[in-house]
A and B are shown apart, each in its own frame.
Chain A
Amino acid sequence: MSKLPPNYSVQTRTRASSISAIVALVLVVVAIALPAFASRSLIQDMFFILTMLVLAQFWNLLAGYGGLVSVGQQAFVGIGAYAMFGVVILLGFDPVASILIGGIAALVLAIPTAFFAFRLQGAYFAIGTWVIAEVVRLLVAQWKSVGGGTGTSLPRSATSDMWFTGTIETLFDVKSAAARDILAYWLAVVLAVATIAGIYWLLRTKRGLGLAAVRDNIEAAKSVGVDAVRMKWLVFLVSAFGTGLAGGLIYLQKARISPDAAFSLQDWTAYVIFIVVIGGIGTIEGPILGVLVFFILQSLLADYGSWYLMVLGLIGIAIMLFAPRGLWGLFSDRTGIELFPVRRRLTGGRLSATLPSSKEE
């Protein structure tokens, strides 16, 4: 970059991204203040949306940027949740602090998982991760001190004097169950913002550029010195850690766990895949749009049970067949708007007079 004349510069920022940064900041402030005026059911809905968004962002990082289509993310949700329950029940830790243990447990599980699954190529990797998730589910079901196959609840002693809930009770004048929802919601806001900011940051660094290169053409990327295997490990471990944190947080709010629920393929992987595919795979905006569409569909069709899932599946198939870049891709292609641009553009100097924007990545 130093070889360019001084009036040239490489930047990723666009006008839309500057506006979206301001809007995002406002949204975060509103989100934090929300419990002051929103009903408890809205807080619970927002918690659901935010935690699904976190799961979707990490799956998108894996599949959309890392090219690793995992169908076994429920392993990390489940192990995160169970590690949280385990240290609360057996060691008497505070549930809020235990969420971090959940993330670490998922990270630890990710190492042997990657060791096995990376031996499988492409599509077989997908089912390999699924097998490992099944193995973990079956093993956890043998763990009698956290309820074995039937599951267990967080002990009342742990949930009643959880960190911060006392303050929230007095602050908003609510009962302890509602205070727990508000706490979980705030933690979800923090996790979602940290996830999006973290992934955006990662994609804009040199590593992120390497990651995009590996995704687009692994051989070409290797030839210019990108360590593809290291990239895969990085993405897999980061996603596992984040997914484990989300798992711990989700089950902090639920306060009740069972192996079948915590390791559910449908809840923690199938829904997440549809969110990302419908919204637009390989973009940060996609999962955000996808989770909103998913929530609206669920609210509209929740009474129709299996019809709802059928519609979701059909939409997913239709998107993959006719608009593989998802709803955000359709929008972005028409308007050129990117809220979280990661593409490096050459601006300034003579170039801006002849070529308004470079489409090179």
Chain B
Amino acid sequence: MIWVDTILQGILLGGLYALFAAGLSLVFGIMRLVNLAHGDLIVLGAYLILLLVTLTGLSPFVAAAVAMPFMFALGYGLQKFMLNRVLGDDILPPLLVTFGLSVVLQNALLEGFSADSQRIQAGSLSTASIEIAGIGLGVMPLLTFGSALVVIIGLNQLFYRTSLGRAFRATSDDPTTASLMGIKPAGIFAKATGIAMIIVTIAALYLGMRSNFDPSIGPARLIYAFEAVIIGGLGSLWGTLAGGVIIGVAQTVGAAINPEWQILAGHVAFLVVLLLRPRGLFPRAVD
């Protein structure tokens, strides 16, 4: 029974990792850009929500909704004025620019909020649990997993049911031809990064409510996100969820055996998948 419980906790933790990964997956899918500052942007989002909660006394969920347009604007501006300039066949400039951005963000947060651990207070919600068939499940992990499902369903709807989604897919396939049809790739990329930042805000909300955070934890979140994307297979959003779940289960099972093995077990699961299925479990993209 304890194992069932451990694995269930792992699956729910996977929801958080899928939230970390969905934005990364979206941006990579559309413009083949790997944003090395992704983890730090999640931490930035968490601080923004914390600031709103502290200053205005709003509920964290409302604060996250208020933060979303700001984060969208940040992503839009970042893409339009910085990242679009370095996109191209050469992978080096975007990698190095986002790496620089990661260092700048971490240290700006350190300067602004100090290295102290923070947490977004969610009141009684953070300790509430419900019992299903004799297993106690936290309401917060369930909410996280539910949000991950909603985000992935929402993104799939956006991709396959709206004209913006069609423009995303067209630009992803062939930016030149798409621009002949009246689509401006630069604007599409900016919107995509903006939407990724909205997902980042949701991820930040749960990150901040579930555990302590400080300015230095961004890179580790990026690694989990990246592992989830690769395990799932590039370009597949449901695969990304599966990848997150695999990392989550590996971590909780590893931690149950020896607490020091928690993080290591997640990385090892990633390497095993890479060894057996180099293109991930549900590969979709050709590259």
User: What residues make up the interface of A, taking CB atoms closer than 8 Å to B?
Assistant: 63, 67, 69, 71, 116, 119-124, 126-128, 130-132, 134-135, 138-139, 141-142, 265-266, 270, 273-274, 277, 281, 306-307, 309-310, 312-314, 316-317, 320-321, 324
Contact = CB atoms under 8 A, between A and B. Distances in A.
A63 B93 CA distance: 11
Contacts of A131: 223, 226-227, 267, 270-271
B274 interface: yes
Interface in B232-276: 260, 263-264, 267-268, 270-271, 274-275
A135 B264 contact: yes
Contacts of B125: none
Contact of B100 (A121, A265, A266, A316): A316
Main SS of the interface on chain A?
helix
A313 B91 CA distance: 18
Given A134-B223, A317-B97, A126 B34 contact: yes
Interface stretch (B42-50, B104-112, B133-141, B195-203): B104-112
B275 A324 contact: no
B267 A307 contact: no
Given A116-B271, A131-B226, A135-B267, A310 B97 contact: no
B107 A321 contact: no
Contacts of A121: 287
B264 A321 contact: no
Given A116-B271, A310-B107, A310-B111, A270 B99 contact: yes
A134 B82 CA distance: 29
Interface in B146-190: none
Nearest to B278: A119
Given A124-B230, A321-B97, 9 more contacts: A69-B92, A130-B219, A130-B223, A131-B267, A131-B271, A135-B268, A135-B271, A141-B260, A320-B100
Interface residues of B, number: 42
A306 B222 contact: no
B107 A307 contact: yes
A258 B230 CA distance: 31
A273 B283 CA distance: 32
A270 B264 CA distance: 23
A329 B107 CA distance: 28
Nearest to B111: A306
B107 A320 contact: no
Contacts of B32: 122-123
A251 B34 CA distance: 33
Between B82, B96, B104, the greatest number of chain A beta carbons within 10 A of the residue's beta carbon is seen for B96
A135 B268 CA distance: 8
A138 B91 contact: no
Contacts of B106: 309
B94 interface: yes
Interface in B93-146: 93-97, 99-104, 106-108, 110-111
B103 A270 contact: yes
24 contacts: A67-B92, A69-B91, A120-B230, A123-B95, A124-B34, A124-B226, A126-B95, A127-B36, A127-B226, A131-B223, A134-B263, A135-B264, A139-B264, A265-B219, A281-B92, A306-B110, A310-B111, A313-B104, A313-B107, A316-B96, A316-B100, A317-B82, A317-B97, A317-B101
Contact of A126 (B33, B36, B227, B263): B36
Contacts of B103: 266, 270, 309-310, 312-313, 316
Contacts of B227: 131
Contact of A317 (B100, B111, B263, B268): B100
Contacts of A266: 103
